[in-house]
C-alpha cells in the first residue's frame, strides 16, 4: 500500500521527490505519480481529515477493489 499521506506531507514541506522515495521506500515513479495527481486535483496541503486511505481512493480511484470488480467481504 502506498503511503500517499506521508509522501504528500514531505513534498509540501519542500523535501525532494528523490529523498521522499528513499525515506518512504516507494519508487521515484510512485512518488512522482502521487505528487502529480495531487497537484492535478488541486491538493495544496494535507489536513487531519485526509487519511491515507482517503487520499489513495481520491488520487487513484481506478485502483480501488470495487472498480476492479472485487467487493469487500464483511
Q: Residue 71: inside a domain, yes or no? A: no
Q: Residue 68: inside a domain, yes or no? A: no
The pLDDT, as a whole number, for residue 52 is: 92
- The helix/strand/coil state of 2 is coil
Task: Provide the residue range defining the domain that includes 16.
Answer: 4-63
Q: What residues contact 13, with CB distance under 8 A and at least 6 apart?
A: none
The pLDDT, as a whole number, for residue 70 is: 58
Domain count for the chain: 1
Mean pLDDT, residues 3-31 taken together? 96
Give the integer Cα–Cα distance in Å for 16 and 56. 21
CB 66 within 8 A of CB 16: no
Q: Residue 25: inside a domain, yes or no? A: yes
The pLDDT, as a whole number, for residue 1 is: 80
Q: What residues contact 2, with CB distance under 8 A and at least 6 apart?
A: 26, 30, 34, 56
pLDDT digit string (tens) for 27-74?
Answer: 999 999 999 999 999 999 999 999 999 999 999 988 776 655 555 556
Q: Residue 9: inside a domain, yes or no? A: yes
Amino acid at each position: 500500500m502506498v503511503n500517499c499521506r506521508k509522501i504528500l506531507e514531505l513534498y509540501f514541506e519542500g523535501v525532494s521527490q528523490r529523498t521522499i522515495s528513499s525515506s518512504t521506500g516507494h519508487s521515484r515513479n510512485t512518488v512522482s505519480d502521487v505528487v502529480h495527481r495531487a497537484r492535478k486535483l488541486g491538493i495544496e496541503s494535507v489536513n487531519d481529515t485526509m487519511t491515507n486511505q482517503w487520499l489513495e481512493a481520491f488520487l487513484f480511484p481506478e485502483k480501488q477493489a470495487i472498480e476492479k470488480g472485487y467487493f469487500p467481504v464483511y
